[in-house]
Structure 1
Amino acid sequence: MIAALRWCVRRPLFEGLGVDLHSIQARFTLAIATLAVVLFSVMSAIIDLGVRAHVEGDAFEMGEQVASQWSAVARTGRMPHLIPAAAPVDLVQLVGSNGEVMDASRQASRLPALSTHRPPPDDRFQRLSEYVGDRRVLLMAIRISPAPDAPVIYAGLRAPTVVASHGLEYAGVGTTLLLSLLAAWMTWSVTGRALRPVEAIRRQLSTITAGDLSLRLPTPAGRDEIALLARTANQTLTMLEEAMSKQRQFTSTTSHELRTPLAGLRVQLEEALTYPGDVDPQETIRTALATTDRLETIVNDLLLMARLHSGQPAVLEPIDLGALVTEEASPQTPGVPVRIRVLPGVWVHGSRIQLIRVLDNLLVNARRHARTLVEVVVEPVSGQAVVSVSDDGAGIAAADRERVFERFTRLADAQRRDPGGSGLGLAISRDIAHAHHGSLRVEDSSQGACFVLRLPLIPCS
């Protein structure tokens, strides 16, 4: 049967039907079909054995009743020569020790001894299965006494057709194949219906390219695994589309920011070559160096942002944030004073170089916009290390509090106070805060702007 199943699932047969043997549907169907064949074969064998045992058991019991009855008569010596017998136990013989049929029923009178087997004296009752001609006979043999020459009474019947032929086995094989095919068909249909949304998702997904992420996958109804997968994939596509849009915008803005100083530098150099007598070479060189410094700053900032977004691991260490702020804020150049208030026990786990970059950006930004004072406060708040840098300047409008963290974004006041800035400092500072599992925001202040850096607090070292 297994060999027949293997023949049915040969690759050429399935390929002719257009079935991919590597598909989940085909593999699952083959697995269920194989399991069904094994299971139904075992069930068929059990049923076959059970039916045979039941039929043969009933036949032997009926034979035992008839044989016991005539064994008692034979012991009295009044055994009739023609033994009366009725169906179904119509074969009865009394056979002597020499194998000669002494008395028999009408149906067994013309037959030789039904069996040559004689039960031993210590086991007088035995069940026998013999062939008389080409027909199987189920017999009960009883030795009428333990004497050595005691005759044996045989009583039995021809085996019923259900156990005499292989019809039961043929029926079992046919039923097994039919049920296995039914199980395979049902499995193929159910898995095909279940996997139909997956095929639709695959086809739609194959049409989505990096140039167009606006397409979405079809979402099946319900909350099964396939529906959840489609929803998650659509959410991922939405995030990818937003990231690609931001990337295109960033590329465009970066190109513009780099093109402007490069164009100015080119004009200056071309003027120096075209009008050597009218252009001061020293001034041209100084201007070119200043432009080169700005370009270098932008490129370095872009490289730092690329490293932060690539997830490259930084060297992390326990840092006393209060000591670091005091160290960076104290040696300030003449100008707006910085007042520092540090509470003890503010430790974080991070990169010293990157945190210094954040603090420098915030301090430079605050001193640029402050009128008379910059205040820095370091304190632990609700399991977080909080650094607030505030100034008493004009402040930042609520509508611009998130915009100032965008790349190359510079408000009008910042452009006026520092025309050479790159507009990447605050964006880099927020990326560093996120890389340290923290945040950087502009929060409410009584006057001026207040930048607040929050980082996870660790126990004091």
Structure 2
Amino acid sequence: MLTGLRRRWRSTGLQTRVTLLAGAVVALALVAGAVLLVTVLRAGLTGAGDERAAARVDEVERLVVEGRLPSRLPGTDPTVLVQVIDEDGAVLAASTGASRAVALLSRDEVDAALEHGEAVLVDGSRVGYGDALRVLVRRTDRGPVVLAATSVSTVDDPLRLVRAALLVGLPLLLLGAAAGVWATVGSALRPVEQLRAGAEAVTAADPSRRLPVPTAQDEVRRLAETLNGMLDRLEAGSARQRGFVADAAHELRSPIAALRTVLEVALVHPDPAGPEPSLRVAHEEVLRMGRLVDDLLLLARLDAGVPRRTEAVDLAEVVRELLDGPAPGTGGQSEVVLDLAHARVRADRDGLGRVVRNLVDNARRHAASRVTVTVRPGDPVELLVDDDGPGIPDGERERVFDRFHRLDRPRTRDAGGTGLGLAIVRELVGACGGTVTVEQAPAGGARLRVRLPAVREDARAPTAGTLAPVD
């Protein structure tokens, strides 16, 4: 049963649940306040009656002590009935309205009241009084006992009126509070409902739609702005993904078409010299497709955030290992000059090697005659790759890191590249906590500057060398 109630409660709307909870809290508060009010009011009225009775007792006690007690006590407060009785319980004097024949309390009741020092509640009918009476008892110094009684109705009648008012007023207050909470919660949730409707309207067919932003400077507005920012990023990522897939398909189409052409020509018009020339061309196209697929897979792993093992690596050592001999798959007759200083960085060694290889391959394809690779120690450690080619225009220096991006100037990708080299460089460097930027080289070409966090400061130990031109 409890499970069913809990399930039913969770299926109820938020506005209803908040209103019910708030109503329950308000109801408890109102009931507690009403009980407290009645209790305090009762205590106050009872205390006021006791004070009036005590004042009458003081007056009568002075008359007894002074020996001026009349048979009919003067009545300064008609709401208080006063009797003076002797040791045997006989009435010696009484106020107007009080019985002169029957005492308000019996001897046993008087003794008990004097012993406990408390007022006594008695039935007023024993003395011809319709209401219950609250009797205060005090023994005078000369022996007689003074009894002062007040009607309980002086307390009960006001309390009865207050209870009636509370029985009518509390439900009205509760309904008013519930209505206020319902309206307030509904007003607060209205922007959320608008956000829900706006989110439902965002579809793949129209990804440019955005959620409505409330005018109020509150949490809902910040939520809407955050969600719109998320939608902007998702739309941008989706656009990049679509463009990436389209470019990848286009790039794969070229080597596949070339391979198909070579194979079809070899089948239709066999070369008299044998199949070796056709197979060599086909092999080159297969290698080109393999490089492209490898680059795509590497970018996919980087995009997925696959963790890479990092270690302290000497950047100069990585550069020298890679460039001690001719690098396969690079074009041009450019000379590569090294200016290296020992500098340790924390990075993935294989990934760092890929960064160096991609930067040098890119520089070789566009250099006129010379490529310079420099490692500068410090914090951060810098890797500079300069060429003396046509350079990169200012407006293209950020876009060259986009995947499959092509320049309109003479510095364009030739058949040796996949169009993903610099994009891979940026992703690998970013994964190591570094940055890569494009500047103008001193020789007028392009300079690609990589900054990586240093492991420690090393003294410069210059090692320089020159690589022979690569065929």
Residue 140 of structure 1 deviates from its aligned partner by: 1.9
Counterpart of 2:434 in structure 1 is: 438
Aligned to 1:425: 421
Of 163, 170, 180, which aligns to 2:156?
A: 163
Aligned position for 2:43: 53
- Mapped partners of 1:86, 1:122: distance in 2: 25
Partner Cα distance (2:91, 2:366) in 1: 131
Quote the residue 2:240 is aligned against: 246
Q: Normalized against structure 2, the TM-score is what?
A: 0.83
Q: What SS does structure 1 have at the residue aligned with 2:119?
A: strand
Conservation of the 8 A alpha-carbon contact between 1:41 and 1:172: no
User: Could you say what secondary structure the match of 2:135 adopts?
Assistant: strand
TM-aligned CA deviation for residue 326 of structure 1: 2.8
Q: After superposing the two structures, state which structure 1 stretch, 166-175 or 277-286, moved more.
A: 277-286
Alpha-carbon displacement from aligned partner over 1:405-458 (angstroms, at most 9, x marks no partner): 222234575668x42421111111112122222222220223222111112223
**Is the contact between residue 259 and residue 282 of structure 2 (CA under 8 Å) also seen in structure 1?**
yes
For the residues of structure 2 that align with 1:157 and 1:121, how far apart are their CA atoms?
16
TM-score, structure 1 length as denominator? 0.85
Query: 1:174 and 1:457, CA in 2 relative to 1: closer, same or farther beyond 3 A?
Result: farther
How has the CA–CA distance of structure 1 residues 396 and 58 changed in structure 2, closer, same or farther, with 3 Å as cutoff? closer
Tell me the equivalent position of 1:132: 124
Q: 1:214 deviation in Å?
A: 0.5
CA contact (8 A) 1:140 1:155 kept: yes
Q: 2:147 aligns with which of 154, 158, 166?
A: 154
Structure 1 residues 128 and 399: CA distance shift in structure 2, 3 A: same
Partner amino acid, structure 2, of 1:153: V
**What secondary structure sits across from 1:185 in the alignment?**
helix
Change (3 A) 1:372 1:286: closer
Aligned to 1:6: none
* Closer, same or farther: CA 152–126 of 1 in aligned 2, 3 Å: farther
Please state how far the C-alpha of 1:375 moved relative to its aligned partner.
1.3
Distance 1:111 1:37 in 2: 53
Q: Measure the CA separation in 1 of the matches of 2:31 and 2:366.
A: 88
SS in 2 for 1:182: helix
For the residues of structure 2 that align with 1:370 and 1:194, how far apart are their CA atoms? 64
Report the alpha carbon displacement of residue 193 of structure 1 after superposing the two structures with TM. Answer: 1.4
Instruction: Return the offset for 1:21.
Output: 6.5
Q: Cα gap change, 1:410/1:53 in structure 2, threshold over 3 Å: closer, same or farther?
A: closer
Q: How far does the alpha carbon of each residue in 1:314-351 deviate from its partner, in whole angstroms, 9 at most, with x for none? A: 0111112222223323334695332222334x322111
Paired letter, 1:386: E
Secondary structure (helix, strand or coil) at the match of 2:296 reads helix
Matches within 5 A, 1:208-357: 208-274=202-268, 280-332=274-326, 335-344=333-342, 346-357=343-354
Residues 82 and 104, structure 1, Cα contact 8 Å, conserved in 2: yes
Partner of 1:94: 84
- Greater mean alpha carbon deviation, residues 48-57 or residues 357-366: 48-57
Task: Select the residue among 173, 182, 193 that pairs with 2:187.
Answer: 193
Aligned partners of 1:385 and 1:131: how far apart in 2?
102
Q: In structure 2, which of residues 8, 12, 29 is the aligned counterpart of residue 39 of structure 1?
A: 29
Opposite residue 25 of structure 2, the aligned amino acid is L
Check 1:264–1:332 CA distance in 2 against 1; reply closer, same or farther (3 A cut). Answer: closer
Q: Is the 1:88–1:157 Cα contact (8 Å) retained in structure 2?
A: no
Shift of residue 65 of structure 1?
A: 1.7
Name the Cα RMSD after superposition. 3.1
Calculate percent identity across the aligned residue pairs: 34
CA contact (8 A) 2:120 2:134 kept: yes
Cα pair distance change 1:303/1:211, threshold 3 Å: farther
Deviation readout 1:192-222 (Å, 9 max, x if unpaired):
2122111101111122123432001111114
Mapped contact 1:265–1:291 kept (Cα < 8 A): yes
2:306 match: secondary structure: coil
Q: Secondary structure at the match of 2:97?
A: helix
Counterpart contact for 2:56–2:80, Cα < 8 Å: no
1:213–1:438 CA distance, 2 compared to 1 (3 A): same
Distance 1:22 1:349, change over 3 A: farther
Gaps spanning 5+ residues in structure 1: where? 1-10
- Asked if the contact 2:392–2:446 (Cα under 8 Å) also holds between the matched residues in 1, the reply is yes
Letter in 2 for 1:336: S
1:458 maps to which residue? 455
User: Are 1:114 and 2:104 an aligned pair?
Assistant: yes
Q: Distance in 2 between matches of 1:110 and 1:227?
A: 82
Deviations 1:362-388 (CA, angstroms, capped at 9, x unpaired): 11222233233221111145x311111
Which amino acid in 2 is paired with 1:264? A
Q: Kindly state the Cα deviation for residue 304 of structure 1 after the two structures are TM-superposed.
A: 0.1
Give SS of 1:394's match.
Answer: coil
Question: What letter is aligned with 1:40?
Answer: L
In 1, are the aligned partners of 2:53 and 2:80 still within 8 Å (CA)? no
**Counterparts in 2 of 1:111 and 1:199: CA distance versus 1, 3 Å:** farther
Q: More displaced, 329-338 or 202-211?
A: 329-338
Deviation at 1:178, TM superposition (A): 3.1
* Cα distance in 1, alignment partners of residues 439 and 33 from structure 2: 76
Is 283-292 or 444-453 further displaced after alignment? 283-292
Distance in 1 (CA, whole Å) between partners of 2:99 and 2:402 is 114
Q: Distance in 2 between matches of 1:352 and 1:211?
A: 44
2:374–2:385 Cα contact (<8 Å) kept: yes
